[in-house]
Chains A and B, each alone.
Chain A
């Protein structure tokens, strides 16, 4: 199967016809594979999908996300994961199974407003997605500023092989933890560096579709004296 060029598509537009599998953000209408969103069509190995340029975050299994604890019951914490669904973190994830925790216990580990790096465990939409913080590089985030961008700008922020985010981190002396859900935590010892890093991120969000973005970011990071 030949690989077709990526194309801009809008909802209802026919991407291709023939024996292809309709995957993310596409549907089959008769012989045609049709896009359901605004995005870039990608025909690949007999399947068709559309990479979104719009929309909020839809939880997917194994995604690394940043969450903000909003409340808890005796059995779990609820986290805002920048989606129309909240993330559910079971108490057993932190305390181990068969441990019945009190409210004090719960608050001692995670309390309202805490930021966490978590992974989506089960994104079955009939109930709120389950998340976990037990794992390498997961857990409570102690310091840093929470920044929100559109989830589909995340790949642009990371850049080819991480080049864009590394550029920002090194020139501003900061560390950025990126969630697939568009939530990021930026931390730095240097408050000016922190501000610059955040401004660079905002620039990328605004100008993600522009070709010379890397130049713009470079220019922005180099300007402004300390």
Chain B
């Protein structure tokens, strides 16, 4: 999937003309995200799942929980790994094969947003220190691409992990054994929510559509937690932001983020 979709100068001028009049192509306000719907439990056999629809962008996140050997230097913590993939059904230019840099970026930003927020208290996901811990894997599959995959994956992941169930395990002869039918609630500490903003000329718009994404000069994704603190940042695109713009962006991400957080909370 090429990051810079080829949108011609004509279209860029049209969008800029509208922005100068304070309008966006789809009639939204500059700080207005598209309609978000979240359905949890769409993959009942997984330990957690959610489908997020942000406008016409759709992402399915599935959570698998299984015992793992801990990382050598963190034997007292469980594991949390998030991934993201743009499925070839999502867009005509989506490719199969090893992930291209934009997809790798999407996966890593999604992972950092969830992990760095401390969403799950990893200390509570240990079965036996240094030997066996609980691994939580949240895999995002983009099924329809209409722009802003960063936020769609963030919302799907947060919703799926928030609503997952951790199976109960018992150590028998040094090996973890699952106790069928018994589960615990995940140790949730906060709900991270990302907000992505595109800079087009001197204008900043929240939740760019695929058209706005194609002509933007730069973008920034800001992830905040339930306390309104900033837990992750990613700037992209070939232009830069001024200091003032960055402050404005952080304020928007806290404001918009808290509304999105309510939607995620309601979904459980």
Contacts and interface: CB of A to CB of B under 8 A. Distances in A.
Determine direct contact between A and B, CB below 8 Å: yes
Interface of A: 112-113
Contacts of A112: 8
Q: Which 4 A-B pairs have the closest CB atoms?
A: A113-B8, A113-B10, A113-B9, A112-B8
Contacts, number: 4
Interface residues of B, number: 3
A112 B7 CA distance: 12
B1 to A, nearest CB: 20
B101 to A, nearest CB: 26
Chain A interface main SS type: loop
Contacts of B9: 113
Interface in B1-34: 8-10
A218 B19 CA distance: 30
A112 B6 CA distance: 13
Nearest to A114: B10
A7 B8 CA distance: 43
Interface in B191-237: none
4 contacts: A112-B8, A113-B8, A113-B9, A113-B10
B10 to A, nearest CB: 5
B27 to A, nearest CB: 9
Nearest to B8: A113
B55 to A, nearest CB: 15
B26 to A, nearest CB: 11
Contacts of B8: 112-113
A198 B8 CA distance: 20
Nearest to B9: A113
Interface string B248-265: 000000000000000000
